[in-house]
Chain A
């Protein structure tokens, strides 16, 4: 398997400096090579899964938990920019409005 670093960088919204893509490519290649070792394990009879805890139906009843909530100040405390109680970001949509 080969990772398309430029495509991945675009998907994760990560700007790359010159030379970085080559470095990352090498890193991915060696990581994937290590992961390839797993192919040696006999997994023909193992079902695929996305979890190993064997838990199921971990849900909660519909009861408010206000004690876990943030104040507005707390919620905004890590934001780069805020405006009148809102997070503020550059506009991402172009429309007539």
Chain B
């Protein structure tokens, strides 16, 4: 029986709504004095009633739609019970049986598809700091973050390496950022990653253990942590031992994971629907209306920019996933030659707070380059002659590439057309 690395990911993303998931406290908790952003609901006081945030529901569904998920028209919130100081009610309001979105997918550059199990909505917990106070090991708890809307995205265990995990995570972050629903800032904790890792026969036939890594605060650490864990587990398995099922932390200095023993937890969450929150029932039209609000996702946008403006794929990818740069590009692309503008932005030769330097007229097109392109692309020229005039776009792209975009594509097109006509006459 051959075992392979089998990795699933759980990703938590804090939404940048103005208010909490179930209360009107500010969702912007970062850097505030401890426990200055609370109310009866997010402190879990008896009798306080949670009321879901409509915006958060819409955004969670939009994330699901962007990940090709099926949207459940009937969904509800459930109570997930466990005892921990970060959870004042003794349960977290989450979604269990009927999450908003299920069964999606995201493909990697290789074409490999990573299936998405679900996208659901829940409330964030309080923030804990572990310190020694008066010689005692203590935990400080700050409830400012408690109740902030949190979207959980769970993949199927389709990932096979730290590198694949990193690629998936970057792609996911870019998509969510393009939706404008979260900053996905790992340092501020608005995006959190939890890979679960085992060596198994296959994603369908899992081994009898898995190890979860928590508190990874960068994609690089996620990749390193996963790779370390795979190696550690392989060594145990090779010795005929089964790795312990547990949660581990990651120490970037040591580049190693370590066991995190948690006292008094139980896998018995006793999920049941929260009787305080009536079900959410949506119509097909409602969901389709949300779908129309999706922006063009980074991948599609990058492809479009390659075709339309003849950008290199890497430039287009960089632009398409950076909202600031993209907005700048869109603002000025009609005034400055788009390919040149894109290169200036990507090479950071431009201050995004200033308009782009007014460019001297595009350099005249070197006729030698036109000639060269026509010679090197005899196929396209032949197609043009048979009436497939659309190949002109391809030829323009070739010239733009050779000149590094420092010429005006309209001028290029004119010269190409002229050259082709001349050749037609000659031919």
Interface residues of A (CB under 8 A from B): 10-13, 50-51, 53, 55-66, 68-72, 75-76, 83-97
Contact = CB atoms under 8 A, between A and B. Distances in A.
Please name the 3 residue pairs, one residue from A and one from B, whose CB atoms are nearest each other, closest first: A65-B24, A50-B273, A86-B140
Given A50-B272, A51-B275, A95 B139 contact: no
Contact of B23 (A11, A65, A91): A65
Nearest to A65: B24
Contacts of B83: 12-13
Contacts of B263: 92-94
B242 interface: no
B54 A59 contact: yes
B172 interface: no
Contact of B262 (A11, A66, A84, A93): A93
B401 interface: no
B160 interface: no
B35 A62 contact: no
Interface string B130-155: 10010011111111000000000000
A89 B43 contact: no
Nearest to A69: B39
Interface string B2-44: 0000000000000001110001111000000111111111010
Contacts of B53: 59-60, 62
Contacts of B393: none
Interface stretch (B228-236, B278-286, B297-305, B308-316): B278-286
Contacts of A68: 23-25, 39-41
Nearest to A82: B35
Given A51-B278, A93-B130, 6 more contacts: A51-B275, A56-B278, A66-B24, A68-B41, A86-B35, A87-B35
B138 A89 contact: yes
A64 B85 CA distance: 26
A68 B33 CA distance: 18
B141 A89 contact: yes
B132 to A, nearest CB: 9
A58 B50 CA distance: 10
A53 B278 contact: yes
Point out which of A64, A85, A91 has the most chain B C-beta atoms below 10 A from its C-beta. A91
A90 B258 contact: no
Given A13-B83, A72-B36, A91-B138, A63 B278 contact: no
Interface centre among A55, A69, A87 (most CB of B within 10 A): A87
B323 interface: no
26 contacts: A10-B266, A50-B273, A50-B274, A56-B279, A56-B280, A56-B281, A59-B51, A59-B57, A59-B280, A63-B19, A65-B19, A65-B39, A66-B24, A66-B26, A72-B34, A85-B142, A86-B34, A86-B142, A88-B140, A88-B141, A92-B85, A92-B263, A93-B261, A95-B130, A95-B260, A96-B251
